[in-house]
Amino acid sequence: MTFQSLQHLIHAVETKPQWRSRRSFQALLNCWPEVVGAAVAAQTRPVAIQRQVLIVATSNSAWAQNLSFERLRLLDKLNHHLADYLQADTLQDIRFSTTQWSSPSSITVEQMEDLSTWRLHPSRLPEPAIKPPVHPRCQTSAEAFQRWSSLIQQRSRHLPLCPSCQCPTPPGELQRWSVCALCAAKGWA
């Protein structure tokens, strides 16, 4: 088996027919702020395309109601922008709703850091006291993998070992389950 570049593999996956809907949704996400404007884009988030209907989450019901009145104009603009991606599957309608606005996908990493459940999660490791040095950009994928591998080994060097599989394990997992999370999950299955 020969190694192929990441871009070649991504291109191979993206050209598969089952990825067409994902590509069209990604194109929609890219043009959404241009089509609706910055103010509306800040208060809305496209969530999915289901049966040629675009589902858009809004920050509140007033935005949902006002945008419902503008949906035909937005449909025309979106279909014009996405003509190359949608091909025969043009959007037929848009539905605006507040139900998915506060879904987990809208939580930023900074907000997640503030959540007590994440701070207390047994798999969470404390931040390293010494930050790893910043290296120049890798020239090859092998160099990138080697740097990543050595960083992971450095980070896990001082972790206790799981009594079952002998892998480095966060102390919280050992305190909670007496084994690593993977071994615990195997035991539950």
What pLDDT, in 10s, does the model give residues 169-179? 988 889 888 99
Segment 6-18 mean pLDDT: 74
Q: Has residue 124 got a pLDDT over 80?
A: no
For residue 117, the surrounding DSSP H or E stretch is: helix 116-119
Calpha distance 24→87 (Å, rounded): 9
User: Distance between terminal CA atoms of the chain?
Assistant: 34
Query: The pTM is what?
Result: 0.49
Q: Has residue 146 got a pLDDT over 70?
A: yes
Q: Which residue has the higher pLDDT, 151 or 124?
A: 151
Assigned architecture for domain 12-101: 2-Layer Sandwich (3.30)
Strands 53-58 and 44-50: antiparallel
Residue 130 zone, left/alpha/beta (φ > 0; ψ -120 to 50; rest):
beta
- Read off the pLDDT of residues 47-105 as tens digits, 9 standing for 90 and up: 988 888 899 999 999 999 999 999 999 999 988 888 876 655 688 999 999 988 875 55
Calpha distance 179→164 (Å, rounded): 7
User: CA torsion angle for 73, 77, 78, 83 (degrees, to 10)?
Assistant: 130
In this structure, are residues 65 and 56 in contact, taking their beta carbons and an 8 Å threshold?
A: no
Percent of the chain, pLDDT > 70?
75
Break the chain into its structural domains and give their ranges: 12-101, 158-189
143: three-class secondary structure by DSSP: helix
